Amino acid sequence: MTRYRLPMRWADLDQLNHVNNVVYLEYAAEARAALVEDGVLDEGLAPVGVEIEFARPMPLSRRAVVVDQWLDGAVLTQEISHESDGERVVFARLTTRLGTPADLGAPQVEGTVVPFRGRRGDVDGAGHVDAVRIFEYFQETRVIWMAGRSGESREIGSVVVAHVGVDYGPPVVWRPAPWDVVVGLERIGDKSFTLASEWRDGETVLARNTAVLVAFDVQTQKARSLTEAERAYLKRLASA
């Protein structure tokens, strides 16, 4: 096990004053880069898939973010935490599969097509769209999907993400034209729902994503049950 520390920033927070989901991937990527610099990890290996479990919301703190890392062959496990007075609080756990990205096969997700344009700054040193930014593409398009059609009132309250999984295809070169992200509703539970998404170029799947979102009570900072109105709204979005 190795340990990496880095500072938090105000810009890391979302509208609920929690660390934004994408930022956890940035913490993990920086810690993973330290393993490459230390010669522990082969720099030729790229993320081909990542699973992240969010244990609890992470608030802003002056304490350093701690990333503990375990490498088992081509699988890197990371826990993101804070330490205070000898107590360690884990906020997220990531499992990253490393290797050579491969074709993801035919499209599997049916749903709403959300055109999405990247930015020039989304690329890594090799000129390919960065894996963290791909994770962000899925987050952005989930938000767009949940907002509904133009002029329609959003009828779903606050939600937090409990679990996200991403499978990456071969490297993608940035382009000014938008791509398509297809978002579909996979499941509705008592307190959560699952969305599946694919980032595509025509019929080519560039990356695939699943996300479990939990209804959240901002006052109590706890999960809550989905209302009947929210369920109806989600089903309406899925059938649009």
Domains of the chain: 1-100 (3.10.129.10), 102-240 (3.10.129.10)
pTM of the model as a whole = 0.92
For 219-224, the CB contacts below 8 A with 24+ separation are 221/57, 223/191, 223/192, 224/191
Instruction: Look at the alpha carbons of 172, 168, 108, 135 in this order and tell me if their dihedral is positive or negative.
Output: negative
Residue 150 binned pLDDT confidence (cut-offs 50, 70, 90): low
CA-CA-CA-CA dihedral for 145, 146, 152, 157, to nearest 10:
-170
pLDDT tens by residue, 157-200: 889 899 999 999 999 999 999 999 999 999 999 999 999 999 99
pLDDT tens by residue, 4-27: 999 999 999 988 788 999 999 999
What are the backbone dihedrals phi and psi of residue 165, each rounded to the nearest 5 degrees, phi first?
-130, 135
